[in-house]
Chains A and B, each alone.
Chain A
């Protein structure tokens, strides 16, 4: 090796004496200078030694320099004999000293010379950088470094991980390193080691493990190892499919939660009071617009504005609901078809009101920090926070509403009036007031649903229309006058939708669900949970 280097260097010196002489880099650190000189050598073996020497130097910038080398950002300027970062600014290239970070001024692009490297060296540098980052104090950096190494695993990594594991204290990183060690052993030349490694990775769901196993199952030299790989792979794939089902279930639950939220207010106004409120969708829309307005009022406090939007939307939609009840619906009790038409008129007016007052276009509503992001449960299962929150929120709203109806004075009166209006009045319940409050309650819940929807879909004047048919379907499917029916109905429709989506497509799945409900109503006209007893005859 040494001899060859000398020969090559001589050869190069003879041919291009100027180049070799001018290429020397002076950083002030002898080890760095030597390393850079080797990197600039024409022989790739020499370059590789140079890179290794650079990595081995304990200079604080080492990791940064290696990364720069890998990404091609690190250049050098011959005249200055300094490695520099090339930065483009206003169409001109500026040089920043790579060692001390001082700006060196503008240079023409041609002056920035590259350090030529090849793919083998890229792999080497990547490994070196990862190895360096593996001992980085930051847990996140260590974890991603381990995962990077997993992607292009080599047998010698097993040793590296084993050494690092002795020092590592974070359980998450330890786990990743252990599986990294196993993956590295999967490519060990000894079949016994490989076979032992297979049983070690049997619990892993990581993509690199699966890739490696797939390759082994197809082409491993040793037939027993191949068989073991096939068996383990099959087991792992089964678990992956299982988690896939859980993911579908979760998507279904969150889609169902949206349906439940949209329908639950309707379950009160339609289910308990028997009023067809076609403006229900627009009450949802008002809730979403309330969120928008509050965000406009306090643009710097996204999280707080969402929290404040919930009561505000409840009040806005609730008051609008009371206004609709007092102004229109109370004249039409007992005439459901007329109520339907009149409230439809109200919905048109509300839509146009929003178009005129705010904008005919969709308005932007931003998501706060805590609603974005992923909850990575394992290699294949990740749940998005906004869908998780919407499910929890739906359950909370449902529980709250249930409590109100079950344990408060208002709830008692609402149930009394819905069961037997005449008798309730005889007992001293002011039924007109109860009607207005019940309608306000149902409408307010619609407003809250609007806050939730503003985080998931576009907020525009047509927001409500998109949900009105769905909401009615949920209530009718679940059984009128039954809150539990709405919850179960909504969630199961959401799940059914998501199960069908992969093979039928989103639109067809929706159509199939609609057709299913139409057929279901034929079979059970009173829904999933029909009311029993006297209330059913009303």
Chain B
């Protein structure tokens, strides 16, 4: 009933959810086929698809604040990376004595740096439930504090974009420092297992792929529900004319803060699913370029549609995988060209094309 209500008038969303469901069911079956079967899907491809799904979830989070709230965040990769680091810390603690130095308590890089004991902010990360909580809490808290400061003093538009970029840039510099206790330049890597399942085994990778699919599906539904609710309609009003909404009597700051924080948590979840699949998290994930890339996925897919964000994320990343393998030189030209052409010629993205035709 609830599903019917929020997906009414959302043809794209309905199609997307059906396709997602089909993929999540089909991929394990195709992966289970014998290796010489023409439809066989290698575990490598499964992991790649899983990675795309986490990117798609990140893009949905960005679309929520950009498409429906008018906040162009150039720092969402920071929330993604923080979620990733929270998961990485859990995975790091699971290595235990199997590290290069065989220290049961300290991760390798701390032994290497001659640290004697675990820093206080690492305590608790040996428990999965605690790490899972932190995946949401850390990005959420950062977004809450940052948003509270920014929205309260009415920093909007381009200024907000630039200070979100400064935020992720500052975090990148901070995480590059060895003294921070997050592995510095090398980040966290060399993970062994998650919840007792080996990360190298095919079944764990399949499980992570399915988890990513489910997370994306529920993330999408949650965003859709939010957008269809009264809160979502106020958000759109804020996007279109912030002052008028404020004069009518809505607490603009509270609405923005709530949605921004929610979006950051979603990005954190995406990061947490991303890390076990790629097997590493390092400060490079905070790079301002990453955040801007996410924005372009959304722009290409079509902002304020949510499913467009998914489309853009998967499409651009598929192109990236293909280009960087076939013509590594051309990839940045292609990406740069996409930025220019999409903003100039396709202001409503690929989803916009489709919708216009539907309206005719």
User: B-contacting residues of A (Cβ < 8 Å)?
Assistant: 276, 328, 331-332, 336-342, 344-349, 351-353, 355-356, 465, 469, 472-473, 476, 507-508, 510-511, 514-515, 517-519, 521-523, 525
B72 interface residue per 8 A CB criterion: yes
The answer to whether A342 touches B157 (Cβ under 8 A) is: no
Mask of B157-196 contacts with A, CB within 8 angstroms, 1/0: 1110111011101100110110000000000000000000
Could you list 26 A-B pairs, sorted by A, with CB under 8 Å? Answer: A328-B344, A336-B157, A337-B72, A337-B157, A339-B343, A340-B72, A341-B299, A341-B342, A342-B340, A342-B343, A342-B344, A344-B292, A345-B340, A346-B339, A346-B340, A347-B336, A348-B332, A349-B336, A352-B332, A355-B329, A355-B332, A469-B166, A507-B174, A514-B167, A518-B167, A523-B153
A518/B163 contact (C-beta < 8 A), A338-B347, A349-B336 known? yes
Once the chains bind, are A515 and B170 in contact (CB under 8 Å)? Answer: yes
* Candidate in B167, B170, B339, B344 with the most chain A CB atoms within 10 angstroms: B339
Q: A349-B333, A511-B173, A522-B150 are in contact. Are A517 and B166 (CB under 8 A)?
A: yes
Q: How big is the B interface, by class?
A: 35 or more
B154 CB-CB contact with A under 8 Å:
yes
Within the complex, the shortest CB–CB distance from A511 to chain B, in Å, comes to 5
Cα A511 to Cα B168 in complex, Å, equals: 11
Query: What residues of chain A lie closer than 8 Å to B173, measured between beta carbons?
Result: 507, 510-511, 514
Nearest first, the 9 A-B pairs at minimum CB distance are: A345-B339, A348-B336, A349-B336, A352-B332, A514-B170, A345-B336, A345-B340, A342-B343, A522-B153
List residues of chain A with CB within 8 A of the CB of B150.
521-522
Complex-state Cα separation, A514 to B296, whole angstroms: 25
Instruction: Please name the residue on chain B nearest to A510 by beta carbon.
Output: B173
Q: Are A337 and B336 in contact (CB under 8 A)?
A: no
- Residues from chain A with a CB closer than 8 A to the CB of B170 are 510-511, 514-515, 518
A276 to B72, CA, bound (A): 13
A-facing residues in B115-140 (Cβ within 8 Å) = none
A522: chain B residues within 8 A (beta carbon): 149-150, 152-153, 155
Residues of B that sit less than 8 Å from A by CB: 72, 146, 149-150, 152-155, 157-159, 161-163, 165-167, 169-170, 173-174, 176-177, 288-289, 292, 295-296, 299, 329, 332-333, 335-340, 342-344, 347
State in angstroms the CA–CA spacing of A339 and B343 once bound together.
8
Q: Whole-angstrom distance from the CB of B199 to the nearest CB of chain A?
A: 32
- On chain B, the residues within 8 Å of A523 by CB distance are 153
Chain B residues with Cβ below 8 Å from A476 are: 159, 162-163
A507–B299 alpha-carbon span in the complex (Å):
34
User: Are the C-beta atoms of B339 and A344 separated by less than 8 Å?
Assistant: yes
Neighbouring B residues of A514 by C-beta, 8 Å? 166-167, 169-170, 173
Whether the pair A469, B339 counts as a contact (CB closer than 8 A) is no
CB–CB A349/B337 < 8 A:
yes
How far in angstroms is the closest Cβ of chain B from A527? 9
Query: Which B residue's beta carbon lies closest to that of A278?
Result: B292
User: Which residue from B155, B337, B344 sits with its C-beta under 8 Å from A525?
Assistant: B155
Q: How far apart are A371's CB and chain B's nearest CB, in angstroms? A: 29
Contacts of B167 in A (CB 8 A): 514, 518
Q: How far is the CA of A525 from the CA of B337 in the complex (A)?
A: 33
Tell me which residues across on chain B come within 8 A of A517, comparing CB atoms. 163, 166
Shortest C-beta distance, B65 to chain A (Å), equals 12
Of the listed residues B150, B157, B166, B344, the one surrounded by the most CB atoms of chain A closer than 10 A to its CB is: B166
B332 near A341: Cβ-Cβ < 8 Å: no
> Smallest CB-CB separation from A351: which chain B residue?
B332
